[in-house]
Amino acid sequence: MAQIFHPSMKVVSRASIILAVIVVLVLGVIGGAMYRSGYTTNVGNPREQIVPFSHEHHVNGLGISCGYCHTSVEKSAFAGIPPTHTCMTCHSQIWNTAPILEPVRESYRTGKPLEWIRVHDLPDFAYFNHSIHVNKGVGCQTCHGRVDKMPLTWSVNTLHMSWCLDCHRAPEKYVRPKSEIYSMTWTPGPDQLAEGKKIVDENHIKTKQLSDCSVCHR
């Protein structure tokens, strides 16, 4: 029986094998980059909302503390999005005819809630609890960044599991004194590791337990 393939096919077949490997690798690298990119994670991607709410203006300009609107942050898993009535405590008096606030007034009139786009969206199988983090020395800014500099809100962290674990494995790198929880300007000092260690001990944070699967997944 005659040869089916010409000897030159040897080169072609070798080249195609090498090419296939390269293609797979390149695809892998692209995929990985995509996975980490802001396109997928929405990091650095200011989200358009029904009302262009500016944290910069309210926090930095007016000095309103986080807890004024996010009332349940110390008590519940969910930090809480302010009800329309909270907005209207001020905006029934000031900017009460501003066209951009019309959705708020409409919500107030009709009783229909405002629809916000979630900026920090964890997958449903991860159970995050705000209250325990703020009670144990994790500041708002540590995860949410300088919202006082955000005219529209975006996320500054990927919320990937490796990012969570970075702190869960070594919380002393990130914790701060309880008095500074809501501070936007607090920065870790040069002796953060030693200071953090102290806070970890004071707050009875059990680091060993923090990397248990059951802490976040149930």
Binding residues (CB under 8 A) for another protein: these are 31, 34, 39-40, 71-72, 75-78, 80-85, 107-108, 111-118, 121, 123-127, 129, 131-132, 135-136, 203-204, 206, 208-209, 212-215, 217-218
Q: Which is nearer to another protein, 182 or 188 (CB)?
A: 182
Q: Which is nearer to another protein, 6 or 206 (CB)?
A: 206
Q: Which is nearer to another protein, 15 or 78 (CB)?
A: 78
Q: Which is nearer to another protein, 191 or 202 (CB)?
A: 202
Q: Which is nearer to another protein, 117 or 165 (CB)?
A: 117
CB of 89 to another protein, least distance (A): 12
What residue type is assigned to position 29 of the chain?
Answer: V
Residue showing tokens 């094998």: 17
Task: Categorise residue 145: left if φ over 0, alpha if ψ from -120 to 50, beta otherwise.
Answer: left
Indicate the DSSP class of residue 45: -
CB of 186 to another protein, least distance (A): 22
Adjacent-strand bridge partners of 43: 155
CB of 7 to another protein, least distance (A): 30
CB 148 within 8 A of CB 55: yes
Radius of gyration of the chain (CA): 25
Helix (H/G/I), strand (E/B), else coil: 145: coil
Q: Which is nearer to another protein, 81 or 156 (CB)?
A: 81
CB of 205 to another protein, least distance (A): 9
Contacts of 189 (CB under 8 A, 6+ apart): 195
Half-sphere exposure of 166 (CA within 13 A, CB side): 12
CB 174 within 8 A of CB 203: no
CB of 189 to another protein, least distance (A): 25
Count of residues making up the chain: 218
Half-sphere exposure of 75 (CA within 13 A, CB side): 5
Question: Which token pair is 129?
Answer: 């609890």
CB of 2 to another protein, least distance (A): 28
